[in-house]
Structure formats: structure tokens, C-alpha cells
């Protein structure tokens, strides 16, 4: 007979695995590295870092959008430097798909490909919001497990 905790733990495991490179590839092993830094003294470390990351996304995407909006006078190096920053922070939190998009985006900036940049910007925007929703679901599952009296299983990506 499956207890509630066991069911939640299984859901959590499956959900985490679905985000991993072998499946939908939202996250890579750097996310597991972040989890290593979480303990009783810093129990919400991962949530705090990813939250800062999403704020960073919003800010940088705003910068890129503004720069691309200067019709006829787009400063591609400015866009490129924001992309570089976004690539860096996505890499640090294990946001694999966002990071991958940044690589393409950077190439568009370097070749001053306006349409390419606009497409990449839209994709990056969708991508970070998807990741945000996924991680919110994941953190909710963790909370439910804890509230049901269980331990959060260690699932390495």
C-alpha cells in the first residue's frame, strides 16, 4: 500500500528526472551542485539562488528588448553583453536550455542578425518562464513531502 509520502516522493523523483538532460533537458548537473550547498543552515539556498536568477533574467531581457527596440540604431554589442551575462548566470544555476539559447543568441548578436536576435529574445523569454514554472512545481512537491512528514529524496541530475 502506497503511503502519501511515498507517492509524493515518487512524483518528486519522476519530476526531477523529467527535467534532466536525458529527458526535457531543462536542468543540468550544475543544479545538483547547487543542491550540495543546501543544508540545515541554508535550507532554502537553491530556491533563493534560482529566484535571483529569474530576477536577473527579467532585468537582462528587458535590457535586450530595449536595445533591440532602437529601430535602425541597434547596439548589438550592448545586446551581446546582456546575453553574455545571462549565459553566465544560467550556467551557474544549471539552466541548461536557457544557456543553450544564449549561445545561439550570442551568435546572432555577433553577426548583427536583427531578426535572429528578436527570435532568440522571444525564445529566451518563454524558456526562462517555463523553467520558473517547473521549478515552482518542484519546490511545491518538496514542501508537500515535508508537510506530510517525509524526507525529500536525493535525486541527482
Partner 1 sequence: MPLDGGVSCLRRSEMIGIGIGELESPPLDSDQVHVLAVDDSLVDRIVIERLLRITSCKVTAVDSGWRALEFLGLDDDKSSVEFDRLKVDLIITDYCMPGMTGYELLKKIKESTSFREVPVVIMSSENVLTRIDRCLEEGAEDFLLKPVKLADVKRLRTYLTRDVKVSDRNKPKVPEDLSRFSSLAMVTPPPPPPPSITSVKSSSLEEIVSSSPPPSESSISPVDSPIRRMEMRSPGLD
Question: What are the residues binding partner 1 (CB under 8 A)?
Answer: 30, 33-34, 36-37, 39, 42, 45, 48-49, 52-53, 56, 81, 84-85, 87-89, 91-94
Rounded to the nearest whole angstrom, what is the least distance from the CB of residue 24 to partner 1 in the complex?
Answer: 20
Tell the smallest beta-carbon distance from residue 56 to partner 1 (Å).
6
The CA-based angle 10-31-64, given to 5 degrees, is 125
Q: Which is nearer to partner 1, 2 or 40 (CB)?
A: 40
Q: How many residues does the chain have?
A: 157
Contact criterion met (CB below 8 Å) for 17 and 9: no
CB 30 to partner 1: min, Å: 5
Q: Is the Cβ of residue 6 or residue 52 nearer to partner 1 in the bound state?
A: 52
Distance between CA atoms of residues 104 and 83, nearest Å: 10
Q: How buried is residue 104: exposed, middle or buried, by Cβ count under 10 Å (0-12/13-18/19+)?
A: middle
What three-state secondary structure class fits 95? strand
Q: Smallest distance, Å, CB 85 to partner 1?
A: 6
What are residue 95's DSSP bridge partners?
Answer: 27
Least Å from the CB of residue 71 to partner 1: 26
Q: How far apart are CA 19 and CA 137, in angstroms?
A: 12
- Gap between the Cα atoms of 150 and 12, Å rounded: 12
Amino acid at each position: 500500500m502506497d503511503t502519501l509520502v511515498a507517492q509524493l516522493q515518487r512524483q518528486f523523483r519522476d519530476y526531477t528526472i523529467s527535467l534532466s538532460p536525458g529527458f526535457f533537458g531543462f536542468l543540468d548537473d550544475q543544479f545538483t551542485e547547487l543542491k550540495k550547498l543546501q543544508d540545515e543552515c541554508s535550507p532554502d539556498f537553491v530556491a533563493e539562488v534560482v529566484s535571483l536568477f529569474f530576477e536577473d533574467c527579467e532585468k537582462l531581457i528587458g535590457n535586450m528588448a530595449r536595445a533591440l527596440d532602437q529601430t535602425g540604431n541597434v547596439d548589438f554589442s550592448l545586446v551581446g553583453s546582456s546575453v553574455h551575462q545571462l549565459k553566465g548566470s544560467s550556467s551557474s544555476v544549471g539552466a541548461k536550455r536557457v544557456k543553450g539559447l544564449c549561445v545561439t543568441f550570442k551568435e546572432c548578436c555577433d553577426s548583427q542578425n536583427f531578426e535572429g536576435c528578436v527570435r532568440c529574445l522571444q525564445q529566451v523569454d518563454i524558456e526562462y518562464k517555463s523553467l520558473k514554472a517547473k521549478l515552482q512545481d518542484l519546490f511545491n512537491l518538496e514542501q508537500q513531502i515535508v508537510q506530510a512528514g517525509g524526507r525529500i529524496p536525493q535525486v541527482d541530475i
